[in-house]
Amino acid sequence: MAFEPVIPVAAARTDSAQNSPAFPDTRGRLLRDLRISVTDHCNFRCTYCMPKEVFGKNYEFLPHKALLTFEEIARLARIFVANGVRKIRLTGGEPLLRKNIERLIEMLAAIPGIDLTLTTNGALLEKKARLLKQAGLNRVTVSLDSLDDEVFRAMNDVDFPVARVLEGIETAAAEGLTPVKINMVVKRGLNQASILPMARRFKGTGHIVRFIEFMDVGASNGWRLEEVVPSAEVLRTISAEMPLEAIEPNYTGEVAERWRYVDGSGEIGLISSVTQAFCSSCTRARLSPEGKLYTCLFATRGSDFRDLLRSDKDDEEIAAFLRGIWGARSDRYSELRAQATGPLPKIEMSYIGG
């Protein structure tokens, strides 16, 4: 069985704060954040992610046998943590559709020294929140693009009511999956009018709304630059009514720029990957449902870990493969975003996770 060659990298240095190995890529960025997509299935058909025109009744999703098993995911997670990862986020698709996801969370929560989180559309959160917390999940992030029920139903395109997602958020908070972060993708002409209502609704609740610029992820969402609402515009809109001030990031590589209300009633986040690229500090890697590793959300190809896991390779051999991939990493798509990058093939967000 053939594998890609391991590319030599610089000797690891130690992160004194975590007393853990730190393996830089070609731009000195360390591997700290692993996003694991556990399924490519979703029960929504959001127009900016999984439009029905592409992901219709005849769309062929990955068969279950192609997916990494929970044991394989946990083994890879341990290897990644031993090589510097400190945060693991479960994504999809919709991760709560993966049967017995609580068992995987329990396995991952047993790994010392990690922050374990999950991103969900919230449809199943009210039902699952207690099980997730009991299994060891730390926090949840919920995708919610509008409080206007008509707009929300149109955006998820399966006629799912916003009230059910709000119930899920409150249940998650009551179970201690806090702070709950709420992601709103802002698209001009669709849900721009929902910016202020979202800010008002969650101000003072302890939840954190993060406003995300509409991104050119995948090849299915019909992205156009003129539909991007710049974060600077979002900031002006909110701050004109509820004054905000900038605050320091929680950690190096945090993608959301943090702003708090001057009256002390909470904070918001701005994710500006189109207008203010943060490639230079990106510490993320993404693992697909069937075990391909992508070093950028906009990567054109992944590296296969499933065959390694199912071969006779030991953990150190797999770790060396990982270090070779990360050491050769030079991704900076958002810094280069231009006409020249448009024709490049892109991985769908529903497959790789956001």
Closest C-alpha to 142, from 192, 98, 179: 179
- Burial category of 272 from C-beta neighbours within 10 Å (exposed 0-12, middle 13-18, buried 19 and up): buried
| 141 Cα distance to chain centroid | 9
Above pLDDT 70, what percent of the chain? 88
Query: pTM to 2 decimals?
Result: 0.90
Query: What was the pLDDT predicted at 353?
Result: 74
> What is the tally of structural domains in the chain?
1
Q: Where in the sequence is the domain holding 216, given as residue range(s)?
A: 13-352
Does residue 224 lie within any of the structural domains? yes
Q: Report yes or no: 24 and 15 within 8 Å, Cβ to Cβ.
A: no
Query: What was the pLDDT predicted at 223?
Result: 65
Does residue 136 lie within any of the structural domains? yes
Query: What was the pLDDT predicted at 5?
Result: 34
| 221 Cα distance to chain centroid | 17
End-to-end CA distance of the chain: 32
Distance CA 308, CA 2 (A): 10
Query: What was the pLDDT predicted at 251?
Result: 80
Query: What was the pLDDT predicted at 332?
Result: 81
Closest C-alpha to 334, from 292, 283, 296: 296
Q: Report yes or no: 284 and 25 within 8 Å, Cβ to Cβ.
A: no
Q: Report yes or no: 130 and 153 within 8 Å, Cβ to Cβ.
A: no
336 CB-side CA count, 13 A: 10
Positions in the chain short of pLDDT 70: 1-20, 217-223, 335, 337-347, 349, 354
Does residue 4 lie within any of the structural domains? no
Closest C-alpha to 125, from 160, 94, 96: 96
Q: Report yes or no: 300 and 345 within 8 Å, Cβ to Cβ.
A: yes
Using DSSP bridges, classify how beta strands 13-15 and 292-294 pair: parallel, antiparallel or unpaired.
Answer: unpaired
Query: What was the pLDDT predicted at 2?
Result: 38
Q: Report yes or no: 46 and 157 within 8 Å, Cβ to Cβ.
A: yes
- The CA-based angle 111-65-92, given to 5 degrees, is 55
Query: What was the pLDDT predicted at 31?
Result: 96
Give the pLDDT confidence of 75-95 residue by residue, as tens digits: 999 999 999 999 999 999 999
Distance CA 267, CA 2 (A): 49
Read off the DSSP letter of residue 40: S
Query: What was the pLDDT predicted at 17?
Result: 40
Q: Report yes or no: 139 and 145 within 8 Å, Cβ to Cβ.
A: no
Does residue 344 lie within any of the structural domains? yes
Query: What was the pLDDT predicted at 253?
Result: 74
Does residue 154 lie within any of the structural domains? yes
Distance CA 101, CA 105 (A): 6
Alpha-helical regions (H) of 86-230: 101-109, 125-135, 149-156, 162-174, 195-202
Tell me the sheet residues that pair with 79: none
Does residue 184 lie within any of the structural domains? yes
Does residue 33 lie within any of the structural domains? yes
The domain that holds 280 is classified in CATH as 3.20.20.70
Read off the DSSP letter of residue 228: B
Distance CA 198, CA 338 (A): 31
CB crowding 4-34: b at 16 or more within 10 Å, else e: eeeeebeebeeeeeeebbbbbbeeebbbbbb
